[in-house]
């Protein structure tokens, strides 16, 4: 059984908050984080998807595979998250 690292715990803390996810293919998704998994798979709702060509599409829900994610931008509010008190 493996332990979950700080970045994953921080992602769990962000559930219910607006986040931005940049994919390896250049697409950007911004929406409400509904759920996250240890593998960094994330579920977002009320999503705005920005394609590489700049076209914006509104989507009700999206599930993003963790291995396809390049970067996740979390809210500044998480700077005071309880997880940082333990590291």
Inter-CA distances, 83 with 21, 49, 52, 79, Å: 21, 30, 34, 9
Fold of the CATH domain 6-76: SH3 type barrels. (2.30.30)
> Please, which pLDDT band fits residue 79 given cuts at 50, 70 and 90?
low
> Please, which pLDDT band fits residue 7 given cuts at 50, 70 and 90?
confident
pLDDT tens-digit profile of 17-71?
999 999 999 999 999 999 999 999 999 999 999 999 999 999 999 999 999 999 9
> Please, which pLDDT band fits residue 9 given cuts at 50, 70 and 90?
confident
Radius of gyration, alpha carbons of the chain: 13
In this structure, what token pair is assigned to residue 17?
């908050």
Question: Between 20 and 10, whose confidence is greater?
Answer: 20
Domain range summary for the chain, segments of one domain joined by +: 6-76
């Amino acid at each position: 059984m493996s332990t979950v690292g700080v970045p994953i715990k921080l992602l769990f803390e962000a559930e219910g908050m607006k986040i931005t996810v940049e994919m390896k293919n250049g697409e950007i998704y911004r929406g409400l984080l509904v759920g996250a998994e240890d593998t960094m798979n994330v579920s977002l709702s009320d999503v705005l998807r920005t394609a590489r060509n700049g076209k914006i599409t509104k989507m009700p829900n999206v599930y993003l595979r963790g291995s396809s994610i390049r970067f996740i931008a979390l809210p500044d509010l998480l700077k005071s998250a309880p997880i940082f008190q333990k590291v």
